[in-house]
Structure 1
């Protein structure tokens, strides 16, 4: 469903990298946290295509890790009508939405209290 190689928008990547600098959490792990924070917040992708121009192009397993199956199932449940390219757009939109709630944490201890 999701392509084997994925990337995000440049601005989302910058926020993930900044969070890594503050907390030490790698961008792929913080992207997973951001995705599920967005799902919990009831954000819904409405088909707004974003330019996925980030330079962190990783394979699906690196981005999603052990959450790959559940991530794809959640996307399929919320968006049964999308095609594979649109699923990547939806995933990227959820990561972008979710990173907004965690991007300003300067310490891992502050972020862990939030979660």
Structure 2
């Protein structure tokens, strides 16, 4: 469903990298957290295509880890009509939405308390 190689917008990627600098949490792990924070907040992808121009192009398993099945099932449940490219857009939109709620944490302890 999701492609094997994925990336995010440059802005989202920069926020993930900045969060890593403050907390030590890697971009792939913080992207997983951001995705599920977005799902919990009732954000819904509206079909707006974003330019996924980030330089951090990782394989699906690295981005999603053990959450890959759940992530894909959530996307399929919320957006049953999308194709592979649109699923990547939806995933990226959810990560972008979710990072907004966690990008300002300045330490790992502060970050973990917010979860």
> TM-score normalised by the shorter chain: which range applies?
over 0.9
Give the aligned partner of residue 113 of structure 2: 113
Q: CA deviation at 1:102?
A: 0.2
- Which contiguous aligned blocks of 4+ residues in structure 1 show a shift greater than 4 angstroms? none
What residue in structure 2 maps to residue 92 of structure 1? Answer: 92
Report the TM-score when normalising by structure 2.
0.99
In the alignment of these two chains, the number of paired residues is 115
Unaligned runs of 5+ in 2: none
Aligned counterpart, 1:8:
8
Is 1:73 matched up with 2:53? no
- Report the RMSD for the aligned CA atoms in angstroms: 0.3
* Distance apart, 1:72 and its partner CA: 0.1
TM-score relative to the length of structure 1: 0.99
Q: Any stretches of 5+ residues in structure 1 without a counterpart?
A: none
Whole-Å separation in 2 of the counterparts to 1:107 and 1:37: 19
Alignment partner, residue 42 of structure 2 = 42
- Find out whether 1:24 has 2:19 as its counterpart: no
Map of 1:82 onto structure 2:
82
Kindly state the Cα deviation for residue 97 of structure 1 after the two structures are TM-superposed. Answer: 0.1
Once residues 32 and 38 of structure 2 are traced to their aligned partners in structure 1, the CA distance between those partners, rounded to angstroms, is: 10
Shift of 1:76: 0.1
Q: In the TM superposition, what is the alpha-carbon distance from 1:26 to its structure 2 partner? A: 0.2
Q: Displacement, 1:54?
A: 0.2
